[in-house]
Structure 1
Amino acid sequence: MKRSLVLIATAVLLAGCSSGGGKGTSTAPPQGGSPAKVSLEWWHLSTAEPLKTLWAQRAKEYMAKHPNVTIKATVLENDAYKAKLTTITQSGKAPDIFATWGGGVLKQQIEAGLVKDISADVAGVLPTFTPAALSAYQFDGKTYGLPTDIGMVGFWYNKKLFTTAGITQPPATWSAYLEDVKKLKAAGITPIALAGKEKWPGHYYWAYLAMRIAGLDALKQAATDHDFTKPDFIAAGQQVKALADLQPFQKGFLGAAYSTPDGQSATVSNGKAAMELMGQWAPAVQKDNGKGLGADLGFFPFPAVEGGKGSINDAFGGGGGLAVGADAPAEAVDFVRFMTEMGNHSKAVEAGGVLPVLKGEESAVKDPNLKQVATLLASAGGYQLYLDQAYPPAVGQQVNDSVAELIAGTKTPEEVGKAITEVAKSEG
């Protein structure tokens, strides 16, 4: 078998998936012979450069050092990945190694017995990670994954288009933000690109507004009391509606994807919209799907809401990590450790693909916008994981669905709160 990592973006490569999947296979060697041959299934969603190539290179390097190990990769775009992973986990299986955002989704997979507790295997390297990066993969004192990225969602904007519209500096308040949207429209510029079809990018607006208006503690409380009908949550929906009423999104946004040649990222990258609300991977995906803005690309944090209980210093976002299937062989955990070693991981940081998760990696961040994100993260007063990952899967999906309907004008802010609450209570 060729020792190469075959990357695919739209289909599952692994024959093992159709015949049971999720378990690494090994063939015992003859007595006194070479190590047993092991085949590992690795699922991830880094379809854009530089990670697409970097992760392939890491796998080749690992296989070169371990000739008995073959790594078969399945690389899927975000929504396709979520759907495929949901399908296989619902059948009671999991890939040997798979990308995870941690939080409530990973916790549910752990409770279903699908994820390996790697606490003992990684105990020696845990002190090398920053606590914030590790937190999404640890439950009840146990570790179920190692982080490969950490970051925050914020506005990525076109400096040239802002200048054309007479905007001299990024808005620090929500009311100023809405005024800037109006200025962009008046200048004939599409203010915001949005992947309405995929829904998860839209939930960022409601989540951030809930953070700024209700505060982080309210979101954490809602995870316990399952009540999203409180006045501050309704107020967050009202502000999303106030934005949507300005019709700030690109034409056809309801049918737009995120990382396609005509999707949200490319619309910003090609100068057809002034900004997008997206995570730390935005520059890499923009470059991968469009012309790229170069020095014209800027970043600013989600504005403060006047009178809100939350702080502009509170960050919303997450990163990414690698978890190991419950039935995976020991080599799967070893590969996860290999991926997150300083010498290997810092190459991805230097390339601008991820942000530091290891102590002392900060100097590897070269991109000025990503340096700004890293600095804001370092000074963040509080941190909230994406709601569609922090909460149980069904609740997170309802957040995405309801906010999408709110933006489309088919649900009221009150109906959004009620719909999420009903699902949360039924899951609770």
Structure 2
Amino acid sequence: MKRSLALIATAVLVTGCGGGGGGTAPSQPNQGGGSPAKVTLEWWHLSTAEPLKTLWAQRAKEFEAKNPNVTIKATVLENDAYKAKLTTITQSGKAPDLFATWGGGVLKQQIDAGLVKDISGDVADVLPNFTPAALSAYQLDGKTYGLPTDIGMVGFWYNKKLFEKAGITQPPATWSAFLEDVKKLKAAGVTPIALAGKEKWPGHYYWAYLAMRIAGLDALKQAAVDKDFTKPDFIAAGQQVKALADLQPFQKGFLGAAYSTPDGQSATVSNGKAAMELMGQWAPAVQNDSGKGLGDDLGFFPFPAVEGGKGSAADAFGGGGGIAVGADAPKEAVDFVKFMTEMGNHSKAVESGGVLPVLKGEESAVKDPNLKQVATMLASAGGYQLYLDQAYPPAVGQQVNDSVAELIAGTKTPEEVGADITEVAKSEE
């Protein structure tokens, strides 16, 4: 989770809206037909950068204007500070009225602790408006515990000119073709891939995607139940990560490289020193911030299919942001979540470039051609897998990151990766 937190915020794509309600009393019933009781909604979110910082403040003012009895008190924090503050308050048995969530295993822990409101009935009328991929991280056992404000997909962002230099005429559609293109790039004197080895989470994308393509989405979901990552298909995913690492495709010093620093993964691609990076939809924004930017030379292609694999090449991997409601929040909190995700309101955020579509039919609001490609793929995705370090319990997700980093560095075998993740998963039972 640390991965997507720091990075999505940097890219101005964090949209999780949060709330707060630890100390706010629920609204009282309207006795005798008078005006509604005054309500203060504590809203915690982490959209500290533009354009979302201003857009979310505008939405709050508009909601207050429509509901004069409601005051929205926003607490806006950077990712790490937000994560720490939310952990502290939830450990005390409380939750904000409204708060940013990434769904998955962390949200499940909060639900199990009785801190999150089941809003299924309240939002039943609007659920059909959302794309299934966007909703998936906030639904558990047939119930809905939040609504999405952003969704994304990890894929390869590449330098068209460097591909041309290596004689690559079109992006690879299969994993074997991808490995061949890595060899072509190296032969042409081009560093194939930039990787932030120091931060670990970018490396986990490779193992996760290969597991999706080889084992399939159902296998990843089953692993969350039986806590077993030692099955042959998971080992095969590790073997393919090793096959890539054995080609030495990454930039010099990648093991000590960060993601968004001036000499990190993003800048290495942005400045033309590597041909591609495997990263989420925020990649272009971070590239422009950290380096020169590639302009029209930047392209995107989805993670390739693996020949003989059980997974579909149409399945997407990524994450986004959403709004959850605290268990003790007043009904106005749910009203605000629905207000934030109405087509007329949410599409303004999409048009600004701050988020990608979560509602059906919003694709037309995306202006950037690469982001439009991502949005279109997401809208038609056959299945969707949340980042593994968010989908699984936090300790398991961290072990995935750590073990894959060791696999890429050559200090752990594919079998050891599976065994170590399994050991941590079983210890969480």
| TM-score normalized with structure 1 length | 0.85
Judge conservation of contact 1:394–1:423 (CA < 8 Å) in 2. Answer: yes
CA gap 1:55/1:200 in 2 versus in 1, 3 angstroms: farther
- Deviation, structure 1 residue 34: 8.0
CA gap 1:317/1:117 in 2 versus in 1, 3 angstroms: same
- Deviation, structure 1 residue 202: 1.5
In the aligned structure 2, how far is the partner of 1:394 from the partner of 1:4? 16
Judge conservation of contact 1:189–1:274 (CA < 8 Å) in 2. Answer: yes
> Tell me, what secondary structure is at the counterpart of 1:284?
helix
- Deviation, structure 1 residue 94: 2.8
Most deviating of 27-36 and 360-369:
27-36
CA gap 1:163/1:74 in 2 versus in 1, 3 angstroms: farther
Judge conservation of contact 2:16–2:45 (CA < 8 Å) in 1. Answer: no
- Deviation, structure 1 residue 79: 5.5
* Structure 1: 5+ residue stretches without partners: none
Q: Which residue in the other structure is 1:264 paired with?
A: 265
- Deviation, structure 1 residue 291: 3.4
- Deviation, structure 1 residue 164: 2.5
- 1:86-113 CA-partner distances (Å, limit 9, x unpaired): 4443343333322222122211110011
Most deviating of 35-44 and 374-383:
35-44
- Deviation, structure 1 residue 15: 22
> Tell me, what secondary structure is at the counterpart of 1:6?
helix
- Deviation, structure 1 residue 49: 4.3
- 1:112-152 CA-partner distances (Å, limit 9, x unpaired): 11212223332332232233322221223322100112232
Judge conservation of contact 2:101–2:321 (CA < 8 Å) in 1. Answer: yes
Most deviating of 38-47 and 92-101:
38-47
Judge conservation of contact 2:403–2:412 (CA < 8 Å) in 1. Answer: yes
CA gap 1:217/1:47 in 2 versus in 1, 3 angstroms: same
In the aligned structure 2, how far is the partner of 1:286 from the partner of 1:241? 27
Most deviating of 190-199 and 14-23:
14-23
- 1:306-326 CA-partner distances (Å, limit 9, x unpaired): 232222222222322111222
In the aligned structure 2, how far is the partner of 1:399 from the partner of 1:4? 15
Q: Which residue in the other structure is 1:229 paired with?
A: 230
> Tell me, what secondary structure is at the counterpart of 1:261?
coil
- Deviation, structure 1 residue 280: 2.1
- Deviation, structure 1 residue 5: 20
In the aligned structure 2, how far is the partner of 1:43 from the partner of 1:73? 6
- 1:12-36 CA-partner distances (Å, limit 9, x unpaired): 9999999998444789999999876
| TM-score normalized with structure 2 length | 0.85
Report the RMSD for the aligned CA atoms in angstroms: 5.3
Judge conservation of contact 2:15–2:355 (CA < 8 Å) in 1. Answer: no
Q: Which residue in the other structure is 1:155 paired with?
A: 156
CA gap 1:29/1:381 in 2 versus in 1, 3 angstroms: closer
CA gap 1:45/1:266 in 2 versus in 1, 3 angstroms: farther
Task: State the percentage of identical aligned residues.
Answer: 90
CA gap 1:198/1:34 in 2 versus in 1, 3 angstroms: farther
Judge conservation of contact 1:128–1:359 (CA < 8 Å) in 2. Answer: yes
CA gap 1:318/1:17 in 2 versus in 1, 3 angstroms: closer
* Structure 2: 5+ residue stretches without partners: none
CA gap 1:268/1:225 in 2 versus in 1, 3 angstroms: same
